[in-house]
Amino acid sequence: MATSSASSNRQSGRLQAAENERVLDEVTRRRRMRKQLEALEQDNFHDDPHANLQWHKKMPKFEDKSGKKRRNTEEDGEPASKKKRKIRGEHFKQRFRKNFHALLEEEYIQSSNPDNPEKPTYFSAQVPSSNLPVRHFCTVCGFHSNYTCVRCGVRYCSVKCRDVHTETRRERRHGLFLPPAVVAVAPPVESTAVVLLSSALMWIAAPRAIEHRPRPPRVSRCC
Amino acid sequence: MANVFVMDNGACTIKAGYATGKEPRQIPNCIIKAKNERKRVYIGDQIDECKDRSSLFFLLPFQKGFLVNWDVEHQVWDHTFGKECLNITCKDTCIVLTEPHCNFLSVKDATDEVLFEDYGFASALRTNASALSAFGYLDANPDERCCLIVDSGYSFTHIAPYCDGRVIKEAVLRISVGGKLLTNQLKEWISYRQLQVMEETYVMNQCKEDVCFVADDFEENMAIARKRGAANNILRHYVLPDFLNVERGYVAMPGDSHDGEQILKLNHERFAVPEILFRPSDVGIDEMGIAEAIAYCIMTKCPEPVRARLFKNIVLTGGNVLFEGFRKRLETEVRSLAPQLYDVRLIQADQPITDAWHGGSKLAQSAKLKDMVVTKADYDEKGGWRICRERFDN
């Protein structure tokens, strides 16, 4: 069917309506909340400034190194600390280089040991959910919000804030804001891999995100 | 007894010093990399030597409040124990070290091993920071016998009741909100609304400490913050440091003029940030706030006879209590949640950050210490981790 449209910018009205109606589902919303909370626990939001430095052995060192080994000075920066680490013993590295999730897994396994069911653990020490009602704040201006974005579920307080939100369409990675053009692409669907124990533990041990009540899908009003 | 060295090993700063001293030295517990200094890193308090403190990169040994990265921690401890800093000889010293509540067994074993085998201390005691604060408090007020220590620090907040010097282990509660989360949240809000500061942890932490306060009435303050002009007495400008003319950021009133400096406008963020301590659900964390958790801890987890004494002796320690208005707000909330027949009394430690250290120093000078420590001889003969767990963790 040949169309008589001259302008190449004209898009199909049907596709545009479908695009505007695309509502993020519950799983994606929860994933975003979890990522936001994890970002709050990060130490650094930029890359290591010393990551790509090449340490040349032949580079002249201007510090005056005395003859005896002093274990407490760090004037040489990176190379000295690397040397010290080797001297200290390989077994240290194997035994103690566990990250937090590995420790959590261990603790989980030990705490489900039926020997001591009453013993307090890391998990039992976590404070339970609040009994007070949740307050919602506009993501754009920070004051109280009454309305929720249909597509992604974030809160806004007024039409002005809603427009700002639609423009920026917050797809944040590490605090950088991607321009709207990139965001228009549908987010990649995560593979439904088998849930590993550690990722299950992240749910248990991470600060619990409040789950938004699912909103009923809206019927679009376009003609 | 040999010299006792008290070390409060926190995720943000180490407070360390000999027990006979007056004040501990506060050393940042991290390795910092600056973007302009390629040849060296700054360990601990060497950061004072750094001129340009923008976009600092932090390497912390602690993750979520627990010591996981021993490589970094070794370097910081080497520097702390070394000649440039506190200059101690480990062989003749007894060390009192702190760890968080509900610490993982492998971390405990690793700590014991490092203290005895790597540094070779003469004897050691591994305990919680709140235990030291409780000791200090009960030492000064022996009639009270019970106290509830609220330790709100960098990584999290712990609420621990102590009765006759012993912790009630089942009643210890942990809230995942700490100073780090507050600084990160402030950075996010500012980055979205004004200026990209996600990399400037050091500067924004100072901003948070300078400018934030706890609102005694959140709604009233929100209403004031909405106003414009002179009626809004909450709005402040914060001048960011550029490390050339301005060394450290400072607060300014909205009317003042600043030529060429970058300014942040802080309005309701000033009290919305510490509000997260009281209502973590504001940012989506499904946990109780401090006041609710205190009431929950005492009323549901502690036995009935001690509740009255616990409500009367709530001790506030840790860096976050230094927010202006914290104690007053917490008192109002706990009073409204506690049953009417109990008296509620909150005591803020004189120096909240070093309170645990001072408690440790008092413990060192008391006779109780020698029954609590494990000596190196014991460690070698009786099988290391076994004796440590027995003494420290029963």
pLDDT, tens digit, 9 for 90 and up, residues B363-391: 998 888 888 888 888 888 887 777 777 77
Give the closest-approach CA distance of B2 to chain A in angstroms.
23
Contact B280 A134 (CB under 8 A): no
Select the residue from B32, B33, B200, B234 to test the A interface by mutation, using most A Cβ atoms within 10 A.
Answer: B33
- Cα atoms in the Cβ-side hemisphere of radius 13 Å centred on B50: 25
Residues of A in contact with B109 (CB under 8 A): none
Q: Give the per-residue pLDDT at A24.
A: 80
Interface confidence (ipTM) of the complex:
0.82
Give the closest-approach CA distance of A41 to chain B in angstroms.
6
Give the closest-approach CA distance of B241 to chain A in angstroms.
20
Give the closest-approach CA distance of B169 to chain A in angstroms.
7
Contact A120 B185 (CB under 8 A): no
Query: Which pair of structure tokens corresponds to residue B358?
Result: 């001072």
B84-95: buried (b, 16+ CB within 10 Å) or exposed (e) per residue?
ebbebebeebbb
Q: Does A72 touch chain B (CB under 8 A)?
A: yes
Please provide the size of chain A in residues.
Answer: 223
Give the closest-approach CA distance of A217 to chain B in angstroms.
23
Q: Does A174 touch chain B (CB under 8 A)?
A: yes
Q: Does A203 touch chain B (CB under 8 A)?
A: no
Distance CA(B205)–CA(A37), nearest Å, equals: 19
Contact A43 B201 (CB under 8 A): yes
Q: Give the per-residue pLDDT at B258.
A: 75
Contact B296 A127 (CB under 8 A): yes
Contact A46 B57 (CB under 8 A): yes
Q: Give the per-residue pLDDT at A75.
A: 41
Q: Give the per-residue pLDDT at A190.
A: 39
Q: Give the per-residue pLDDT at A116.
A: 63
pLDDT beneath 70, residues of chain A = 1-9, 19-21, 53-97, 114-118, 170-223
Give the closest-approach CA distance of A55 to chain B in angstroms.
9
Query: Which pair of structure tokens corresponds to residue A56?
Result: 């040349």
Give the closest-approach CA distance of B198 to chain A in angstroms.
6
Q: Are A97 and B70 in contact (CB under 8 A)?
A: yes
Q: Does A54 touch chain B (CB under 8 A)?
A: no
Contact A44 B43 (CB under 8 A): no
- Cα atoms in the Cβ-side hemisphere of radius 13 Å centred on B181: 29
**Angle, nearest 10°, between helix axes B179-193 and B201-211?**
100
Contact B282 A121 (CB under 8 A): no
| B355 phi, psi to nearest 5 deg | -60, -40
Select the residue from A31, A40, A135 to test the B interface by mutation, using most B Cβ atoms within 10 A.
Answer: A40
The set of residues, in sequence order, having a beta carbon less than 8 Å from that of A71 and lying 6+ positions away, is: A84, B78, B82
Give the residue from chain A lying closest to B77, CA to CA. A72
Which among A97, A143, A209 has CB closest to B268? A143
Q: Give the per-residue pLDDT at A61.
A: 56
Q: Give the per-residue pLDDT at B1.
A: 52
Q: Give the per-residue pLDDT at B323.
A: 94
Looking at residue A23, what DSSP letter applies?
P
What pairs with residue A166 in β-bridges? Answer: none
Residues of B in contact with A33 (CB under 8 A): 284
Residues of B in contact with A141 (CB under 8 A): 193
Contact A118 B175 (CB under 8 A): no
Q: Are B367 and B86 in contact (CB under 8 A)?
A: no
Contact B118 A140 (CB under 8 A): no
Q: Does A80 touch chain B (CB under 8 A)?
A: no
Give the closest-approach CA distance of B287 to chain A in angstroms.
4
Q: Give the per-residue pLDDT at B178.
A: 93
Q: Does A44 touch chain B (CB under 8 A)?
A: yes
Helix (H) or strand (E) holding A30: helix A26-39
Residues of B in contact with A83 (CB under 8 A): none
Select the residue from A38, A42, A45, A71 to test the B interface by mutation, using most B Cβ atoms within 10 A.
Answer: A45
Q: Give the per-residue pLDDT at B268.
A: 92
Neighbours of B285 (CB within 10 A): 25
Helix (H, G, I), strand (E, B) or coil at B65: coil
Residues of A in contact with B192 (CB under 8 A): 139-140, 170, 177
Q: Give the per-residue pLDDT at A8.
A: 53
Give the closest-approach CA distance of A24 to chain B in angstroms.
18
Distance CA(A118)–CA(A114), nearest Å, equals: 9
Q: Are B126 and B97 in contact (CB under 8 A)?
A: yes
Map tokens 């000999």 to a residue. B18
Q: Are B130 and B297 in contact (CB under 8 A)?
A: no
Residues of B in contact with A207 (CB under 8 A): 176-177, 280, 285-287
- Residues 12-31 (A) with a CB less than 8 A from some CB of B: none
Torsion angle of the four alpha carbons B273, B278, B284, B288, in this order, in degrees rounded to the nearest 10: 160
Residues of B in contact with A90 (CB under 8 A): none
Size of the A and B interface in Cβ pairs below 8 Å: 196
Q: Are B98 and B132 in contact (CB under 8 A)?
A: yes
Query: Which pair of structure tokens corresponds to residue B79?
Result: 């520097």
Q: Give the per-residue pLDDT at A77.
A: 43
Give the residue from chain B lying closest to A137, CA to CA. B282
Q: Give the per-residue pLDDT at B35.
A: 83
Distance CA(B189)–CA(B193), nearest Å, equals: 6
pLDDT beneath 50, residues of chain B = none
**Helical H runs in chain B?**
70-81, 105-113, 129-140, 179-193, 201-211, 218-226, 269-278, 290-296, 307-312, 326-337, 355-364, 369-372, 376-381, 385-393
Q: Give the per-residue pLDDT at A28.
A: 87
Map tokens 């939100």 to a residue. A165
